[in-house]
Every structure is written in structure tokens, then in C-alpha cells.
Amino acid sequence: MEIYQGTIMAWLASYIWPFCRISAMFMVMVAIGSRNMPMRIRLLYSLAVTMAVAPTLTIPTDVLLFSLSSFLIVVQQILIGVALGFMSLLVMQTFVLAGQIIGMQTSLGFASMVDPGSGQQVPVVGQFFLILATLIFFAVDGHLAMIKMVVLSFETMPIGTTGLTSLTFDKISRWGGWLFTASLAMSISAIVALLLINFSFGILTRASPQLNIFAIGFPVTMLAGLTILWLTLETVMSHFEPQWLRALTMMCEIIATKCEF
């Protein structure tokens, strides 16, 4: 039995090109794309999904694996996968930003730790909200929704030299506005509450100048901040759901399909 070189190259291309899109999404998406996730586990996830999806896809047969057109196809697959994974990352950063705002307002922002995902020093409150949002992400099967999106993208955006347009990248950048909107909506109650507390201390200082406002205000503000933080946790799910639905809607626009959820 003779196996021609063209047949082998076509078979490799049918797995390499989908693997580039799927692995690019896993490289960026929440939790799986973080630094604390071993590279081998991430690679196994990508290979498992690729092996399940690749036999059902339509692959261009007129493009050589080692050619300029093949390089353009690989670039387009990586861009599509990164765009999908980046949307889930923006959802998580919404809660990180909200936690940082609350931490700064409640005098808890001085406590910081190393974020295992980015390797940067971040406030503990922001990291706490990130962990909580990540747990909710897996609880609502967000990772399965991401896999569904990338598999569905092969139907609406088949493998080829064409892919995302400049309009799509503009929509993704504009969607970042929802990040700041949702973060402010989540932290506005803490901002107002701490503003009233600081305003009360200002009146107290004006009425009794002999009091050491710095010795009294700091512990009171911190205790009030912990109380406000505890009360804010009850609304995390109500803020996560609309933000995640917005991200899913944007993912559907990226892959040019109609959302059904």
C-alpha cells in the first residue's frame, strides 16, 4: 500500500489548523490560560477537543501545509481563538477592577499579593473577587460554553485565509466599556457608604477638633469596609450573570452566529 506525501500533508493540516484555533482559546481563557495551569494539561485539553472536532470539519484541500497561504490560515485561527478567550478574560477583569475599587475605598487596598495569572502585585480584595468569579464561571459551565463557541465557530467561520475583520476588533475594544460600567455598578454602593462615613468623620472633626481623627478613623473605616465587603458578596451573582450574557452575545457576534441561550 502506497501512501502519498500529499495525503499525509492533508491529514496533518486537518488537525493542525483546528488545533491552532482551539489551543489559542485555551491559552487565553479564564483559569485554563493562567500561569498556574501546567502547560501539559492545557496541551492535553487542546488535543482532546481537536481530536473530537477535526474529523467533522471541512478543510481546504488546495492549500499546501508548508506555504504562505497556510501561514495566513494559522494566523487567522490564532486570532479567532484569542478573541474568544479574551472575552472571558474581560469578564473576570470586571470583578478584579470592582474589588480594587472597593479595596481602595475601604482602606484594604494596602494589602496585596501576587496574582498567579498575571504575576503582578494586586490588592487582596481584587484577587478575592477574581477567585469568586472564577468559581462562579465553572459553576455555570462557562468553560463548556467556551468550548461550544469555538466548535460552533468552525461552522460559521470555516478554516481559510479569511477570518476576523477590523470591525470585529473595534467591537471588542468598545465592549471594554462594559468592563468599567459593570465594575462601577458593583462597587458604587461601597463608594457611597464610605463617602458617608468619611463625611461623618469630617463633621465629627469639625465639632470636636481635639479628637485624633487619624487614630479613630482608620480602624472604624476598616471595620466598616469589611462589613460593606461582606454585604457586597450577596450581589456578586446578580452582577456576574448579565456581564457573562453580554460576553456570550459578543462571542456570537465575533463568530457571526445567532445566540441561543
Is the pLDDT confidence value at 5 over 60?
yes
| Percent of the chain whose predicted confidence (pLDDT) is above 70 | 87
Is the pLDDT confidence value at 117 over 60?
no
Contact 198/220 with Cβ under 8 angstroms? no
Task: Please indicate, yes or no, if residue 50 is contained in any of the structural domains.
Answer: yes
Question: Mean pLDDT, to the nearest integer, of 16-29?
Answer: 90
Reported residue count of the chain is: 261
Residue type, 167: L
Q: How many domains does the chain have?
A: 1
Question: Mean pLDDT, to the nearest integer, of 127-134?
Answer: 86
Distances (CA, A) of 223 to 40, 108, 112, 193, 234: 44, 10, 18, 12, 18
The number of CA neighbours under 13 Å toward the Cβ of 82 is 10
Show the domain range for 178: 5-254
Threshold 0.95, pTM exceeds: no
Task: Please indicate, yes or no, if residue 261 is contained in any of the structural domains.
Answer: no
More confident residue, 57 or 211: 57
pLDDT tens digit sequence for 40-92: 888 898 999 999 888 888 777 777 777 788 888 888 899 999 999 899 888 98
Task: Please indicate, yes or no, if residue 87 is contained in any of the structural domains.
Answer: yes
Task: Please indicate, yes or no, if residue 259 is contained in any of the structural domains.
Answer: no
Which pLDDT band, with edges at 50, 70 and 90, does 118 fall under? low
Task: Please indicate, yes or no, if residue 260 is contained in any of the structural domains.
Answer: no
Distance CA 123, CA 113 (A): 6
| Percent of the chain whose predicted confidence (pLDDT) is above 90 | 5
